[in-house]
Structure 1
Amino acid sequence: MKVYIEERCKEIAKYIIKTRCTCKDCARKFGISETTVHQDMRKRLPKIDNKLYLQVSNILDLNKAEAFLRGGLATKEKYEINKI
Structure 2
Amino acid sequence: MKQYIEERAIEVANYIISSNATVRQTAKKFGISKSTVHKDVTERLSKINPGLALEARKVLDINKSERHIRGGLATRAKYVSMSHTRPTLY
Instruction: With the length of structure 1 as denominator, give the TM-score of the two structures.
Output: 0.95
Residue 73 of structure 2 is aligned to residue 82 of structure 1: no
The code of the aligned residue for 1:63 comes to: N
Unpaired runs of at least 5, structure 2:
85-90
1:1-49 residue CA offsets vs partner (Å, 9 max, x unmatched): 1111111100111111111101111111111111111111111111110
CA RMSD, Structure 1 to Structure 2 (Å): 0.8
The code of the aligned residue for 2:60 comes to: L
Unpaired runs of at least 5, structure 1:
none
What percent identity do the matched residue pairs reach?
Answer: 50
* Deviating 4+ runs (over 4 angstroms): none
In the other structure, the counterpart of 2:19 is 19
Q: Bigger radius of gyration, 1 or 2? A: 2
Secondary structure, counterpart of 1:21 in structure 2: coil
Q: What number of residue pairs does the alignment pair up?
A: 84
Instruction: With the length of structure 2 as denominator, give the TM-score of the two structures.
Output: 0.89
